Structure 1
């Protein structure tokens, strides 16, 4: 017989650092922690309704990427989704119960399945698919479907990873100034209403 669910399980709500930035049409629900200077871009979805999602400081989740997590993992690997510091998740990616360690780049349209692990200072080329339980060792470039080792990263490439992540956050001022703290859809509604008056 199972016990009663804890308050955390009942009232899972996102927790965002004050200096993080979330695009107006991004969706963040459930047990999600967003740390310092994280940016979540247009159309991204972070769905922590079944398990926890953590996004480390200075990371970014780009346009239309989906991050979620399974309730449990039959393999015994972590079912939560954990993203480290200085990580860039490219556009249109899908991460499900995956772990990405610090200072990584996940190329556009990449898919990371349950239990996959990308170790620190690694890069996935655009369109890479990591099958369940696949490990990408530290300091390597992987590509393909399914993902395969391509080569080791150079020292300069490893150092550039952090600069790319902080550079993305540096662009948010241009975007955040475009939006009011409230909806302005009423402006268009008023135009339609006035146009229909005799």
Structure 2
């Protein structure tokens, strides 16, 4: 059994020590990724190694709608043996030891180092450059050390996650994507339905779901929507401005996002949220229904609050991400066409 979609990046294809035990619907592995024996890849799981390597040891279990990625120009991702990742989790540009359990909706951010025999509880956010000591459970946002954890508890938690994966819903229909101009990239594993308008140069990456059930979804020019993000319109619709980044595994419904903004990995935007132009929302954040995020600030937390000013360095970083994803979109469109 092989992933639903395998693509090279920069001429490099993924390497598997042996054929995975299971590869779910729309599972995707890209680029310089190396997976050990007995891997399990759930529905809509994404391993995207486009610019730095990803390595995962033996018996790596990646739950449905979870994402493993790198920092394109700076940081790889390395994962040890017997690591279990639950559903809708993100492992991003970090190092994870062996015998680690990462529960549903958890996020590990850039430069973090996770020791061996660690439990990361559901919904936790591991902030950038954090160091998690071996043998402990961590939880919260930002994650804090909670208590010692035994190998027996880790094994039980891992088994629970795997059992839950076996109860996944049957495969959903895969509607035809909307017609787009040549500068737009929509991944083959993305699912788009309803009235959706994608601006020139926009990018919708692997296993995203955009469902315009009532109002429309409008995406501005050169905006990128990253792997496993889900956008639903059940009322007035969703409008996202130009030159904006929507990170991995974001959830949003019936909201407005301004231009030149960044919505961080794993954030959840409640209906009625309004994000002004020039906003950076930190990974793992949430908003309250109807909340307004004023422009020119870094926001973060649950619910989001102002953490600081959006200085020149952050603005430059956000612009650099947009430029990089415009380039990725062009590259992936060509690769997907060649893959057929």
Q: 2:310 aligns with which of 144, 148, 153?
A: 153
Aligned 8 A contact 1:41 1:63 in 2: yes
Alignment-derived partner of residue 194 in structure 1 = none
Alignment-derived partner of residue 111 in structure 1 = 268
Q: Could you give the per-residue CA deviations for residues 49-72 of structure 1, whole angstroms, max 9, x where no partner exists?
A: 21110000000000000111123x
1:86 aligns with 2:243: yes
Offset, 1:101: 0.4
Aligned 8 A contact 1:139 1:158 in 2: no
Aligned 8 A contact 1:53 1:81 in 2: yes
Alignment-derived partner of residue 3 in structure 1 = none
Aligned 8 A contact 1:121 1:161 in 2: no
Alignment-derived partner of residue 52 in structure 1 = 216
Alignment-derived partner of residue 196 in structure 1 = none
Offset, 1:15: 4.9
1:125 aligns with 2:282: yes
Tell me, what secondary structure is at the counterpart of 2:197? strand
Q: 1:98 aligns with which of 243, 255, 276?
A: 255
Gaps of 5+ in 1: 1-12, 72-78, 184-198
Tell me, what secondary structure is at the counterpart of 2:194? strand
Aligned 8 A contact 1:15 1:33 in 2: no
The normalised TM-score by structure 1 is: 0.77
The alignment yields a C-alpha RMSD, in angstroms, of 1.7
Greater fraction of residues in strand: 2
Alignment-derived partner of residue 41 in structure 1 = 205
Inter-partner Cα distance in structure 1 for 2:329 and 2:219: 17
1:66 aligns with 2:238: no
The size of the alignment, in residue pairs, is 164
Inter-partner Cα distance in structure 2 for 1:182 and 1:116: 39
Greater fraction of residues in helix: 1
Inter-partner Cα distance in structure 1 for 2:258 and 2:334: 32
Aligned 8 A contact 1:15 1:34 in 2: no
Q: 1:28 aligns with which of 174, 177, 192?
A: 192
Tell me, what secondary structure is at the counterpart of 1:129? coil
Tell me, what secondary structure is at the counterpart of 1:167? helix
Inter-partner Cα distance in structure 2 for 1:173 and 1:63: 16
Alignment-derived partner of residue 178 in structure 1 = 335
Q: After alignment, is 100-109 or 171-180 more displaced?
A: 171-180
Inter-partner Cα distance in structure 2 for 1:45 and 1:150: 30
